[in-house]
């Protein structure tokens, strides 16, 4: 590919010295799990998000799952999730023994539609998991208002939205708790798996520190049926090395998105991202829609331009969720999104010239469809 979808190697090599130093520091410390590197990263990440606490965990799925678990979500309970998301959001509810209850998004923003959430609430509903999809925050104010009126908990799925702002506040500081993933391809990515939970709730933070570590705060004293879901020292040290440049990297993504917005405007059949005035996205992905998505992707691939589909199959149509009996046509907005979306190249090492080249190729290929 002459323009790759995402050049992870280039992104990490921009900080080769800082990352090598961090790795060497951990190697030489002789301490590899739950130590001062994790503590330091937790403090730095909480401060960056604007929350009292951050709790490092093994991955983003666990981050959502552990919060639901700490809230006591279990069999017979329902958890409201977007009908269009990465399946991890649903799996977190399922792993608690609860039922994920899908709600359709706003077609323009791809994020959970507050107007539809209330209709999905039943006596069994315990929590809502809005996803800040593609790096843009969900409309949190009405969601928090609904949650307050129905005594529900809200955990943000911020896996794609490190640093995104909603009415000036950062993702992570918008719900009762928030879950983040540091999977290598995310805006803040480790060199392996990692995750974190942010919250202002002292009691929840305490509970989560135990839950991630065998239900133990004090070695060999187990207060709950816990898990082994820890961020390791090596990944924490690497994340601490990368966090200081994240704002700059997100700004570079924003500049590329602005180029795409301008260069892709007015192409017949091409739907561009919609950004409400209260949103400040971090462009984890720049996602367009086209009825002939596959042909567009093929044309771009032939031009040497990498694209991906996030995501090709809606969770309710996955074999994993066949038991829910939700057949095709049940969530038409999500199904259309999954059929038509295409993610264009986007990342902090991509150049403005490359964005222009991608946009010109899209225009040329779309005109011939």
Ligand X SMILES: *Cc1c(COP(=O)(O)O)cnc(C)c1O
Binding site for ligand X (CB under 6 A): 59-61, 85-86, 88-89, 131, 157, 159-160, 181, 183, 193, 195
Minimum CB separation of residue 178 from ligand X in Å reads: 11
Minimum CB separation of residue 66 from ligand X in Å reads: 12
Give 89 or 198: the residue with its C-beta nearer to ligand X: 89
Give 80 or 88: the residue with its C-beta nearer to ligand X: 88
Minimum CB separation of residue 308 from ligand X in Å reads: 12
Minimum CB separation of residue 58 from ligand X in Å reads: 8
- Which is the catalytic residue, given 186, 219, 242, 298? 186
Q: CA dihedral in degrees (258, 262, 263, 268; nearest 10)?
A: 130
Residue 132 CA to residue 259 CA, distance in Å, equals 22
Residue 117 CA to residue 344 CA, distance in Å, equals 30
Give 86 or 260: the residue with its C-beta nearer to ligand X: 86
H helix or E strand, kind and range, residue 94: helix 88-95
Q: CA dihedral in degrees (80, 85, 91, 96; nearest 10)?
A: -20
Q: What is the CA radius of gyration of the chain?
A: 20
Give 71 or 180: the residue with its C-beta nearer to ligand X: 180
Directed axis angle between helix 352-367 and helix 246-263, to 10°? 30
Dihedral sign for Cα 283, 285, 286, 287, please: negative
Residue 40 CA to residue 104 CA, distance in Å, equals 39
Residue nearest to ligand X (CB): 60
Give 85 or 94: the residue with its C-beta nearer to ligand X: 85
Minimum CB separation of residue 310 from ligand X in Å reads: 8
> Does the annotation mark 69 as catalytic?
no
> Are the C-beta atoms of residues 101 and 80 closer than 8 Å to each other?
yes
Positions marked active-site:
186
């Amino acid at each position: 590919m002459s323009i790759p979808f995402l050049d992870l190697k280039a992104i990490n090599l921009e900080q080769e010295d800082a990352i090598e130093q961090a790795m060497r520091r951990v190697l030489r410390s002789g301490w590899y799990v739950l130590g001062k590197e994790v503590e330091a990263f937790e403090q730095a990440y909480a401060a960056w998000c604007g929350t009292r606490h951050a709790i490092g965990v093994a991955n983003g799925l666990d981050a959502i799952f552990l919060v639901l678990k700490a809230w006591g979500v279990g069999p017979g309970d329902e958890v409201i999730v977007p009908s269009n998301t990465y399946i991890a959001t649903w799996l977190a509810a399922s792993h608690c023994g609860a039922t994920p209850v899908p709600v359709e998004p706003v077609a323009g923003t791809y994020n959970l539609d507050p107007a539809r959430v209330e209709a999905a609430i039943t006596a069994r509903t315990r929590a809502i998991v809005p996803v800040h999809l593609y790096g843009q925050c969900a409309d949190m104010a009405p969601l928090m208002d609904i949650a307050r009126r129905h005594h529900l908990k809200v955990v943000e799925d911020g896996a794609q939205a490190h640093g995104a702002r909603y009415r000036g506040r950062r993702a992570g500081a918008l719900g009762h708790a928030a879950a983040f993933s540091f999977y290598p391809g995310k805006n803040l990515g480790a060199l392996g798996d990692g995750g974190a939970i942010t919250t202002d709730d002292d009691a929840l933070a305490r509970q989560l520190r135990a839950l991630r570590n065998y239900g133990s705060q004090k070695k060999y004293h187990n207060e709950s049926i816990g898990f082994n879901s820890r961020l390791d020292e090596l990944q924490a040290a690497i994340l601490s090395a990368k966090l200081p440049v994240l704002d700059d990297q997100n700004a570079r993504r924003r500049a590329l998105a602005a180029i795409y917005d301008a260069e892709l405007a007015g192409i017949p059949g091409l739907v561009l991202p919609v950004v409400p005035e209260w949103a400040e996205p971090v462009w984890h992905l720049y996602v367009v829609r086209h009825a002939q998505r596959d042909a567009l992707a093929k044309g771009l691939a032939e031009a040497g331009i990498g694209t991906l589909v996030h995501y090709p199959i809606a969770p309710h149509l996955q074999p994993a969720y066949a038991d829910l009996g939700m057949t095709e046509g049940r969530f038409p907005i999500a199904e259309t999104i999954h059929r038509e979306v295409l993610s264009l190249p986007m990342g902090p090492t991509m150049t403005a010239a490359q964005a222009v080249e991608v946009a010109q190729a899209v225009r040329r290929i779309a005109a011939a469809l």
